[in-house]
Amino acid sequence: MGTRRRARELALQLLYQYELTGASPEVMQAAFEEWHSATDGVRAFADVLLRGSLEQLEEIDTELSRQTAHWRLERLAAVDRNILRLAMYELLFETDTPHAVVINEAIEIAKRFGAKDSARFVNGVLDGFVKRRAETG
């Protein structure tokens, strides 16, 4: 598994934990065994994704709400919601990674951590978001 995928998976697990506990990134990271066994590069990218997602959560959730007009965010499966949040953070704020790569990574993570249809759902939401943004500029 690549460094960036592993970082995305760690960030997902911590973002999910944040949603449940509201603990600070420092507290969550200190208590997360997988965090300590990860390489410096994995931890660095995971930290960027986690903190960036938390700092931009309001804007990310606004964009997700627009894209998932038929579903309230709180009704989405927690894993799917947080995979989407991480991917949306990258699409909106970490623009060095091509959109197709961000979407593919989110799909693969959804296959690993989500339910049976999570990958299709994540793909549809993110692909629709990218197309909508391209149309509106």
pTM to 2 decimals? Answer: 0.94
Cβ burial of 73 (10 Å; 0-12, 13-18, 19+) is: middle
C-alpha to C-alpha distance for 84 and 64, rounded to whole angstroms: 8
Give alpha helix (H) positions in 94-117: 99-113
> For residue 35, what are the contacts with CB-CB under 8 A and spacing of at least 6?
10, 14, 29, 43, 46
Domain count, the chain: 1
Q: Assess contact for 82 and 56: CB atoms under 8 A.
A: no
Q: Which domain holds residue 46?
A: 3-136
Per-residue pLDDT of the chain (137 residues; tens, 9 = 90+): 689 999 999 999 999 999 999 999 999 999 999 999 999 999 999 999 999 999 999 999 999 998 987 888 889 999 999 999 999 999 999 989 999 999 999 999 999 999 999 999 999 999 999 998 888 86
CATH number for the domain spanning 91: value is: 1.10.940.10
